[in-house]
Amino acid sequence: MSSLYIGIMSGTSLDGIDLVLVRFSQSAREKTQPELLNSLLCPFPEQLRLQLSQLAQSGPDELELMGLVEQQLALAYADAVKQLLSRAKVTPELISAIGCHGQTIRHRPYAAFPFTYQIGDMFRLAAETQIRVVADFRRKDMAYGGQGAPLVPAFHQAVFANSSYRAILNIGGIANVTLLQPDHPVRGFDTGPGNGLMDNWIQQQGLGLYDKDGQYAASGAIRQDLLADLLSDPYFQLQGPKSTGREYFNDLWLEQKLHNGNYTPADVQRTLTRLTAQSIKIALVNEAIDELFVCGGGAYNQVLMSDLQQIFPKVKLDQTASLGVKADDVEAMAFAWLAYAYDQKIPGNIPEVTGARKAVVLGAEFSY
């Protein structure tokens, strides 16, 4: 027997809504290769993207704005699901559940009372699609003392682990890594900025939403003084479990680092690209990994990938596509798997990764 699940991921890069339609085997309690049936990327409407970006930082009347945006986001998710079903020629009643991450607007794992918050009205999503939704995956882990992030390592283990020492590197708005070392517990954590600072900077220059293929970065030079200042942030020296978000690594953080330095915009972009690569190197400095597989939007940034190959000259570097899952689809597939894991009562967190006191089944169900 098999079950169909939809996974929805909209990450900190705010590039849009990633969706996948996946078939899972009902007996897949061990390592499994989900069958990807279809996938789709739906860009955010510009106004919604701007509002979500606004909510990621403190501002006036946030509660009112959040309430309005949460409904718009749910409708955008629902419209994307309908497009995916139409594309795949599948009807809603054939779908076991939607696994939806929601949109993170706050992630405060180091607060006096740690919390994380993902918005999107899941009851509305269920009602609009007539499909059961499983969501709110992070807060149960936090209730057991974890950071609620990263959550993808359990999926990475289920799909990508083998006899070599592999690292699965997701470069979205924030970068996170999963360490799959044979005969060792799975580890994982956020390494720091991924594409988020680069995206924000190129948007400020009026040159688009992101640096396609790293072309703008390629026109600049690495400023070593700026890079050293950026890398002086204490986050990079923290040991895991650790997690972060665009609430921390954002425009204000960068402005404070730039001071009054005389840097061209292209030099800043090039240096931010190297920052992402170098912070990953710091995180993995003591790890004798054999293979590094990259997913997320950063996998398509040729300058960033070149930096990673230079920094890890003896490591096999490739995209996760070579393992059977396209770089764009990994995270959305992970949340389809988390919905499947919820139904099968499979723990979705890894205590060694998040710091939780125990492994637990993650998520909450929203019926239509």
User: Cα-flanking dihedrals φ and ψ of residue 25, to 5°?
Assistant: -75, 135
What is the four-CA torsion angle of 334, 15, 249, 103, rounded to 10 degrees?
-60
> Which helix (H) or strand (E) segment is 8 a member of?
strand 2-9
Please give the structure tokens belonging to residue 246: 């665009």
121 annotated binding-site participant: no
Please give the structure tokens belonging to residue 306: 């070149």
11 annotated binding-site participant: yes
211 annotated binding-site participant: no
Helix axis angle, 251-258 to 196-204, nearest 10°: 80
> Which helix (H) or strand (E) segment is 47 a member of?
helix 46-55
27 annotated binding-site participant: no
12 annotated binding-site participant: yes
343 annotated binding-site participant: no
Other beta carbons within 10 Å of 195: 28
15 annotated binding-site participant: yes
Exposure string (b/e) for 124-143, b if CB count within 10 Å is 16 or more? bbbbbbebbbbbbbbbbbbe
Other beta carbons within 10 Å of 279: 22
Amino acid at 207: L
**E strands in 84-230:** 95-100, 103-108, 115-119, 133-135, 166-171, 174-180, 187-193
98 annotated binding-site participant: no
Other beta carbons within 10 Å of 261: 12
The annotation places the binding site for ATP at 11-18
The annotation places the binding site at 11-18
